[in-house]
Amino acid sequence: MIDSTEMVKKVFTQKSGRVDTNRGDEYYNSLFENAKNRLSTLREQEPLKDIDMMDVIESEGVNRRDFMKWVSATTATLMLPPMFAPLVAEATELMNRVPVIWLELQDCAGNTEALLRSSAPTVDDLLFDVLSLEFHHALMAGAGHDAEHQLDEAMEHFKDNYLLFVEGSIPMGMNGNYGTIGPSGETFHDHLQRISKHAAAVVAVGTCATFGGVPAASPNPTGAVGVMDIVKGKPIINIPACPANPANMVGVVLHYILTGQVPELDSLLRPKFAFGYRIHDNCERRAHFDAGEFVEEWGDVGAQNNWCLYKVGCKGPMTFNNCSIIRYNEGTNWPIGAGHGCIGCSEPDFWDKYAYQRPMASANIKAPTGGVEKTVDEFGLGLLTATTVGIGVHAVASAVAGKKSGEEGEDK
């Protein structure tokens, strides 16, 4: 029999769950000098778009004070010391030096929609106005042969220097013919292989592009896979979630502009600055988890008092993402804040493994390291033991009491 406590300890001590937030003065001083030199080189280059960042943000009613607040927050998000803030501000003004090609493959266009639906653009949103977007299927005016010609020109002109953003999965079934594009009928697979060949780095945006997403859900009729299953020999950065948060896309681009390199990644190629923490650790309902206060069913007293959603299917303890910190909809809210449990959309195979809302004790759900939880309270008690956060006699007693109560309920 698998020891649930030991199993959960493995989950929460795995390598991808650790982030080194202080790498020492020597490291940061060296990085600072490299970033200064990098930005000086970029500033000498001709801008690819004649758009001034400060003009854009001022035209949208964002003042200098608000911009600097955003710079401070972004510097912290990238896990850099405050001394990097002036360089982050300078990097935002140089985003029009880095060419970007954006491909859309098998998906719902949700990541593009997330960018376009902003009613009151944040600085993150406005940066996409400055970014030199050389090609985007959904946003460009051209179509057919004209679009193909524009893509070929961008690839040739910015050979080996462009960032390739990819949205959507790649269907491999029926020799790739579930997804074709352009007047030549090129398959998504061949299209991605051809365009990624001369990219400086490939950024997979959204869960479809990273792990296959909803198209890859069982029985996966099109044979959908993610970008990292197709593209080899290139730096790949995965930004999963459904949709991906624009703040994390901006973070990746800013890091590249600052350093000329991809950010530090976890074992699933996700930037650690964005996916280095579990949702559970920064959840506003975490105190109720520690206190053994759970929503038992929708509409009960726990739901009315915003208690922990773990027992009704929240996957926060299994999910790595910073959405509990930066949130969505201009930072106003996120699913758990609105009373809906996390569905683990930034994890591999999320649709088959996590995207349901029913009591986890009867879900037979497997933790990432394998094994099956006997009951939710037993698993919760294991979490408390493993993380050693907020553990007290009262919390443990509450969890045990909850377990006994649940068993009594089952007996009845």
**pLDDT recorded at residue 19:** 74
Q: For residue 18, what pLDDT band results from cuts at 50, 70 and 90? A: low
The answer, yes or no, to whether residue 103 has pLDDT greater than 60, is yes
340 — phi, psi (to 5°)? -115, 130
Q: What is the pLDDT of residue 15?
A: 52
For residue 411, what pLDDT band results from cuts at 50, 70 and 90? very low
Comparing 389 with 4, the larger pLDDT belongs to: 4
The encoded tokens of residue 128 equal: 């996409």
The length of the chain is 412
**Any alpha helices (H) in 117-165, and if so which ranges?**
123-130, 144-157
List beta partners, residue 162: 199
d(CA 256, CA 98): 9
Q: What percent of the chain has pLDDT over 90?
A: 48
pLDDT computed for residue 265 by the predictor: 92
* Residue 382 φ then ψ, to 5°: -65, -40
Pairing of strands 170-171, 224-225: antiparallel
**To the nearest whole percent, how much of the chain has pLDDT over 70?**
80
Is residue 379 very low, low, confident or very high in pLDDT (cuts 50, 70, 90)? very low
Q: Is 90 exceeded by the pLDDT of residue 116?
A: no
Does the structure show a pLDDT above 70 at 393? no
Range picked from 20-29, 101-110, 370-379 for highest mean pLDDT: 101-110
Sorting pLDDT into bands at 50, 70 and 90, what band is 50? Answer: confident
Pull the structure tokens for residue 381: 């008690």
| Mean pLDDT value across residues 177-206 | 95
Q: Give backbone dihedrals phi and psi of 379, rounded to 5 degrees, phi first.
A: -65, -45
User: Is the pLDDT higher at 130 or at 342?
Assistant: 342
The pTM of this model reads 0.82
Q: Evaluate if residue 366 carries a pLDDT over 60.
A: no
Q: Please, what is the average pLDDT of the chain?
A: 82
- 409 pLDDT tier (thresholds 50, 70, 90): very low
Instruction: List pLDDT tens digits, range 318-353.
Output: 899 998 888 887 778 899 999 999 999 999 988 988
pLDDT, residue 396, reads: 35
Query: Given 3-state DSSP classes, what are the helix, strand and coil percentages for the chain, each rounded to the nearest 5?
Result: 50, 10, 40
- For residue range 281-328, list pLDDT tens digits in order: 889 999 998 888 999 888 999 999 999 998 888 988 889 999 888 888
| pLDDT bucket at 218, cuts 50 / 70 / 90 | very high
d(CA 133, CA 101): 6
Return the higher-pLDDT residue of 86 and 137.
Answer: 86
In single-letter form, the type of residue at position 27 comes to Y
CA distance 123 to 71: 9
